[in-house]
Structure 1
Amino acid sequence: MAKMGSRKHLKRYKAPVHWPIHPKEDTWTVKPSPGPHAIEDSLPLLLVVRDILELADTAREAKMIINQGDIMVDGTVRKDYKFPVGFMDVIQIPKTGNTYRVLPDEKGRLILHPISEENQEFKLCRVQNKTTIRGGKQQLNLHDGRNCLVEGEYKAGDVVVLQVPKQEITDHLKMEDGTLGLITGGKHIGELGTIKEINITKSSMPNTVLMETKDGKSFQTLQDYVFVLGKDQPIIALPGGK
């Protein structure tokens, strides 16, 4: 029988490397609830409040802040301290007026990048795949676990601009040559580049993309690692003014 602690907690040495905790400080850390992001791609809200934003000194204080409804994720108040926060989520703290977007740095760690008030009402979501449902309508399955019914042409790898919390699509960024993409995995994680060529394989091997950075460096990466951000300029602010 599993220990009771293992259902709500996670051994620190088993925590993802991007979590801002030290594996030798304690035995256990909080385990994220099942939700829109997998454990390896997310941070529990308690760690965001205590360890990243430093709004609390202890887990107890962080839980109180969260339970009071002081933290919003994608325009919705979240009171579960284990709620998983992941890539592209928008975190708002109405009492302080601060808003952040969750992005990766060049070491693969999730960071909170401050954003302006006008950018807090939308997020970018990558189309993981699409399905046809009853009535012939298309359903887009997005990277953060959302599903949206749409009309028009979308394909896996495209990115939609989603109003939150309304979940209305206001723009569509196609994965195609000449667009800008942020690398979200592999050894080039956190880098921004222009898509030069998309290589579609006709085997079980994954598709790849040839990228070029603004300083002229070229590299290949998996298509699944490329997150489209715009045509000539990223439509969101990025760390380091990329």
Structure 2
Amino acid sequence: MHLTRAESTTKFPIPRKGTKYLARPLESVDNSVSVVMAVRDMLKLARTAREVKKMINSKVLKINGRIVKDYRESIKLFNVLEADKKYLLTLSTNGKFKLVPSEGNERVCKVIGKKTLNKARTQINLHDGTNFIAGKEKIEIGDSVYVAIPDNKPKKVVKLDKGAKCFVIKGRYIGKEGKVKSREGKKVEIEFADGKIVKIPQGEVIAL
């Protein structure tokens, strides 16, 4: 399946003019990039989709430590792509996806939901579609969890509270880092490096 360049999300770091069709990510079309776009168009590690497919067949491409099997697989925000080296998918201040070198063996995820299972177990749902069963530590919606790669086990929980570093993932201030000054209800007050202080919905920011 493909989507037209005109109907694609503005987060794609590609020219608005060019070939008519683009490879559609298998999941989260508006909030991810496909492997072929990342490898060919963003990293310039291949010239064609065929070359990307050869890399997949050679098992040199991984997402969060898992071997890629389809060139349309989705790389979601803060996922880690392994190619010639590791790259983290993040956002620039102009709202475009970008890949930056990464050396860690973990990724940060925003908690977007919780589900009670049998035997009083709680499933924690994360922004990139993954989940895990919570342990004894209290985890709330809006918290961030650092997840190990590749075993997908939670390593650390970060609260979106005063003093926490944070990153804006949507809205007017997308792509900017700051520090939480306060949190009231569903609003977070953030101070950026230039001293500017703003209040934005907590759904638009992730704690780091």
- Shorter-chain TM band: over 0.9
Q: Counterpart amino acid of 1:189?
A: I
For residues 174-206 of structure 1, the C-alpha deviation after alignment (integer angstroms, 9 at most, x for no partner) is: 111121110111010111111112121xxxxxx
Q: Counterpart amino acid of 1:46?
A: V
Displacement, 1:129?
A: 1.5
1:153-232 equivalences in 2 (<5 Å): 153-200=138-185, 207-229=186-208
Higher-Rg structure is: 1
Question: Take 1:181 and 1:140, find their aligned partners in 2: how far apart are those partners?
Answer: 20
Question: Take 1:81 and 1:165, find their aligned partners in 2: how far apart are those partners?
Answer: 20
Question: Take 2:183 and 2:170, find their aligned partners in 1: how far apart are those partners?
Answer: 17
Return the match for 2:63 from 50, 73, 91: 73
Corresponding residue of 1:115: 102
Check whether the contact 2:40–2:48 (CA below 8 A) recurs between aligned residues: yes
Check whether the contact 2:190–2:198 (CA below 8 A) recurs between aligned residues: yes
3-state SS of 2:36 partner? helix
Displacement, 1:47?
A: 0.6
3-state SS of 1:81 partner? coil
Identity %: 29
Paired residues, what number? 207
Check whether the contact 2:13–2:98 (CA below 8 A) recurs between aligned residues: no
Q: Counterpart amino acid of 1:213?
A: F
Check whether the contact 2:13–2:97 (CA below 8 A) recurs between aligned residues: no
3-state SS of 1:188 partner? coil
Return the match for 1:12 from 5, 11, 14: 5
Return the match for 1:82 from 57, 69, 72: 72
- TM-score, normalised via structure 2 length: 0.95
Question: Take 2:13 and 2:203, find their aligned partners in 1: how far apart are those partners?
Answer: 26
Displacement, 1:18?
A: 2.0
Q: Counterpart amino acid of 1:177?
A: K
Runs (4 or more) in structure 1 with deviation over 2 Å come to 20-24
RMSD across aligned C-alpha pairs, in angstroms? 1.2
Which ranges in structure 1 are unaligned for 5 or more consecutive residues? Answer: 1-7, 201-206, 230-242
